Structure 1
Amino acid sequence: MPSFDISRSRFRLADGHLIVLSELAAGNASPDEFAQAREELADCGLINEEGKLSPLLLPLMKTVLAPGVIITLEAAGRQGKLHHGMFIGDEHVVAHEAWPGAAEAEYSCVEPKMLVWKLADMVNLQQAPVARETAVPVVETTIGAVEAGLAVLERERAARAADEERETVHRALAAGGGPGEPSLTLLTDLISELRSSWRLTSAWQVRAQGREGTEARGFAVWDCGPLGYWLRELPTEPVPEERVVPGSPFRLVHVDARTIWTRITELLPGTDELRHAAGRAGAA
Structure 2
Amino acid sequence: MESQIMVRDIVFRYPGQTEPALNGLSLDVYKGEWLAIVGHNGSGKSTLTKLWNGLLLPQEGEVRVETLDPTDATDVWDVRKRIGVVFQNPDNQFVGATVRDDVAFSLENMGLPRQEMVRRIDDSLARVGLSELADREPHQLSGGQKQRVAIASALAMRPHVLVLDEATSMLDPIGRKEVIETVQQLVSEGMTVVAITHELDEVLFADRIIALSKGKIAMTGTPEDVFQNPEALRAIQLDVPFIVRMQLELKERGIPLDRLMLQHSELVNHLCRLALKK
Is TM (by shorter chain) over 0.5?
no
- Shorter-chain TM-score: what band? under 0.3
Rg comparison, structure with higher value = 1
TM-score by length of 2: 0.25
| Bigger fraction of residues in strand | 1
**TM-score (ref. length: structure 1):** 0.24
Bigger RCO of structures 1 and 2 (CA < 8 A, at least 6 apart)? 2
